[in-house]
Amino acid sequence: MLVRSPEVAPVAVRARAPRSAGVLIGTLVLAILTFQLNATLLSAALPAVGRQLGESMQDIARVQSVFFLAGAVFSMVFSRWSDFLGRKRSLVIVLSMVLIGTVICALAPSLPMLLIGRVLQGAANATFTISFLLLSERLNSRLFGISVGIITSVNGGLFGVDGFVGGFVTDTIGWRFLFVITLALGLVAISCVAFFVPQDEPRTQQGSMDWWGAGILSLFLVLLTSLIAQISAAGWSDPLTIAYLLGAMVSAVVFVMIEARTRHPLIPVHALRSRQVWPLLLSTVFTLAGVYSAVNFTLVLLSQNTQVGYGLSASMSALLYLTPTAFFGVTAAIFSGWVAVRIGWITSLRLSSGVIALISVAIAVFAMDRWAIFGLLIVMGVFYLGLFQSSVNGVSVLNSPAEARGALPGLNGACFGIGIGVGIALVAPVVAAGTVTGFRTALWISVGLTLASFLASLVLRPAARIGA
Cβ burial, residue 96 (10 Å; 0-12/13-18/19+): middle
Write the CB contacts of 461 (distance below 8 Å, at least 6 apart in sequence). 274, 275, 276, 279, 346
Cα distance between residue 22 and residue 130, in whole Å: 17
HSE-CB for 378 with a 13 A CA cutoff: 9
Q: What is the pLDDT of residues 278-297, one digit of tens each?
A: 899 999 999 999 998 898 88
Q: Residue 447 in contact with residue 368, Cβ under 8 Å?
A: no
Distance CA 222, CA 354 (A): 29
Judge contact between 291 and 360, C-beta under 8 A: yes
CATH class of segment(s) 21-197+264-459: mainly alpha
Radius of gyration of the chain (CA): 21
- Mean pLDDT within 125-133: 86
pLDDT-derived band at 207, boundaries 50, 70, 90: low
CB-neighbour burial class of residue 279 (10 A; exposed 0-12, middle 13-18, buried 19+): buried
Cα(394)–Cα(136) distance, integer angstroms: 9
Smallest CA-to-CA distance from 42 within 56, 29, 59, 60 is with: 60
What value does the mean pLDDT take over residues 304-322? Answer: 81
* Residue predicted with more confidence, 13 or 363: 363
Amino acid occupying residue 91: L
Residue 371: predicted pLDDT: 92
Q: Which of 193-202, 204-213, 238-247, 332-341 has the highest mean pLDDT?
A: 238-247
pLDDT at 106 over 70: yes
Q: What is the mean pLDDT of residues 407-427?
A: 79
Domain ranges of the chain: 21-197+264-459, 211-263
Check if the beta carbon of residue 372 is closer than 8 Å to that of residue 326: no
Burial zone of 215 (CB within 10 Å; 0-12 exposed, 13-18 middle, 19+ buried): middle
- pLDDT score at 11: 40
User: Cβ–Cβ contacts within 10 Å for residue 236, how many?
Assistant: 10
Share of the chain above pLDDT 90, in %: 23
